[in-house]
Structures are given as C-alpha cells and as structure tokens.
Structure 1
Amino acid sequence: MKTEELIENEKKYLMQTYTRPAMVLDKGEGMKVWDLEGTQYYDFIGGIAVNALGYSHPKLVQAIKNQAEKLIHCSNLYYSEPQIILARMLVELSYGDKVFFGNSGAEVNEGAIKLAVKYFKEQNKDKHTIIYMKNSFHGRTIGTLAVTGKY
C-alpha cells in the first residue's frame, strides 16, 4: 500500500490519539529512519525513548532472535534467568538495590506513584503531594492520567 492509502486506513481503523506527520516509516538503522518513499529522517527522540540503542543494531537484533527462539514471553509469575541476570546487572551498575520491570511507561509511572505513597505512609505522614510537569504525559491509565498535564 502507498502512504496515502495506509494513512486513510489508519484513520478508518485506529483511534485518533495523535496528530502525526503524513509519512509512514518503513525501516530504521542507527538513529536514521526511512519512509515508504525512501526519504531519510533522523530520529532525535529515540522512538519516544524506547530505541536508545538506535534501530537495527546487529547485536540487539541477534539477542532478540535468540530469545524469541527460546521463550518469547515469560510473565513475572515465573522465574526467568535473563530477567534475574539483567536485574542483578542493573543493581550493580546503579544506586538502587531493587529493580521493577514494567510493561509500559504508564505501568512504571503507576509503580513510582505507589512507591511515593508507600514512603510517606511509612514516614507516618498523612499528607503527600504528587507533582507533575505542565503539558506532561505519563500514560493513559487512571493513575497516570491523574498526573498527566495534557488532559
């Protein structure tokens, strides 16, 4: 399908939650992405902060392939060796002593809100305030919408 047809289908079948530029991204390499017409762009937002390593890095692609061949998903209901190894590495390389893996930014922000409330309760402080930035976006769950400045 061509760009115009894809955009028409997107508007017909998907909720309109964003205003988007009239281009359909096709591939990426490093920090560059290309649309269906072959126009190259630089992704200065890292895929909204989820592509910090860039696009199509060979080591990352191979690691994903290797894991997908073994176990594509393992919930937190079960122990998982890669999860435990990554948690240990993150703790050893950071200031934290525990790790929480979330499925989305909204889930992680909900976790941060819960941790802040828990902290104040443990300090026997009846009042607490969660602050957020004007025009911010923290997710689309009930908890994160409460601290999202956009809506």
Structure 2
Amino acid sequence: MNNRRVVRLDKKYVMHTYSRIPIAMERGEGVRIWDSDGKEYLDFISGIGVNAVGHCHPEIVKAVESQLKRLLHCSNLYHINPQTKLAEALCEVSFADKVFFSNSGAEANEAAIKLARRFGSKLGGRRYEIITMKGSFHGRTLATLKATAQTK
C-alpha cells in the first residue's frame, strides 16, 4: 500500500488521540527509515526514544527471534527466566534493590506517581502532591494526563 492509502485507511479505522504526520513508515535499518512509497528518511527521534540502538539492529533481531522460538508471551502470573536475569543485572549496576517492568512510559510514570505518593504519605505524613514541569509530557492515562502540563 502507498502512503496515501495507508493514511486514508488509518483515518477511517484508527481512533486518533493525537495528530500524525501523513507518512506511513514501512521499514527501518539503523538510523534510516523508509515510507510506503520507498522514500528514505533519517529517524532523528529514534522511534520516540525506544530505538536507541537503531532500527533492526542485528543482535536485537537475533535475540528477539531466539525468544520468539521459545516463548512469545507469558503473563507475570508466572516467573520468567529472562525477566529475572534482566532484573538482577539492572540491580547489580544501579542503586536499586528491585525493578519494576512496564509496557510503556505512561505505565512507568503511573508507577512512579504511586510509589512517590505511597512513600510520601508513609514517611512524611500528608506529602502526596506531585510536581511536574511546564511543557512536560507523561503519557495518555488519567494520572499521566493530569501530570502533563499542557491542555492537549
């Protein structure tokens, strides 16, 4: 499908929560991305920060393929060996004794708000207010929208 068709179908079937650039990205390699019409771009925002090592890094692709052949998804109702190994590695190289894994920045921010409020009220009485920065963005969930300083 070309860019125009993808954009048209997207407008018809996808609920829009924010404005999009009318380009349909098709693939990426390193810092380069290509749209559905084959036009090449440099990804200066790294997929909004989630592609810090670039698109389709060979080692990442290999690790994901290996995991997909073993187990696609498993609920946190069970213990998951790679998750446990990653938690251990993160604790060893940081100040933390424990880690919290989340699916999105909004979920991570929600957890940070809950933890701050919990410890603020536990250790400081009624210290439960959260201060955010003007021009900030924290996500699109109820709590993170409230923490986001702008109206849109």
TM-score range, shorter chain: over 0.9
Indicate the percent of aligned positions where both proteins have the same amino acid: 48
Residues 22-68 of structure 1 deviation map (CA, whole Å, 9 limit, x = unaligned)? 21111101111111222221112111111111101111001111111
Distance 1:133 1:127 in 2: 18
How far apart are the structure 2 equivalents of 1:43 and 1:19?
18
Aligned to 1:32: 32
In structure 2, distance between residues paired with 1:32 and 1:74? 32
Q: Distance in 1 between matches of 2:4 and 2:48?
A: 24
Q: How far off its partner does 1:2 sit? A: 1.6
In structure 2, distance between residues paired with 1:70 and 1:34? 31
Q: TM-score, normalization: structure 2? A: 0.92
Structure 2 matches for 1:110-125, cutoff 5 A? 110-125=110-125
Match in the other structure for 2:100: 100
CA contact (8 A) 2:27 2:35 kept: yes
**Equivalent residues, number:** 151
How far does residue 134 in structure 1 lie from its aligned partner after superposition? 2.0
Post-superposition CA distance 1:91-147 (Å, at most 9, x none): 111222210001111111110001101111221321332111223221222211110
* Amino acid in the other structure paired with 2:30: G
Q: Structure 1: where are the runs of 5+ without partners?
A: none
How big is the shift at 1:150? 2.9
Which residue pairs with 2:146 in the alignment? 146
The aligned runs of 1:1-151 (5 Å cut-off) are 1-151=1-151
Amino acid at match of 2:93: L
* SS of the residue 2:22 aligns to: coil
Q: Secondary structure at the match of 1:10?
A: helix
Worse overlay, 30-39 or 5-14: 30-39
Q: Structure 1 counterpart of 2:129, which letter?
A: T
Unaligned runs of 5+ residues in structure 2 are none
For residues 104 and 75 of structure 2, what CA distance do their matches in structure 1 show? Answer: 14
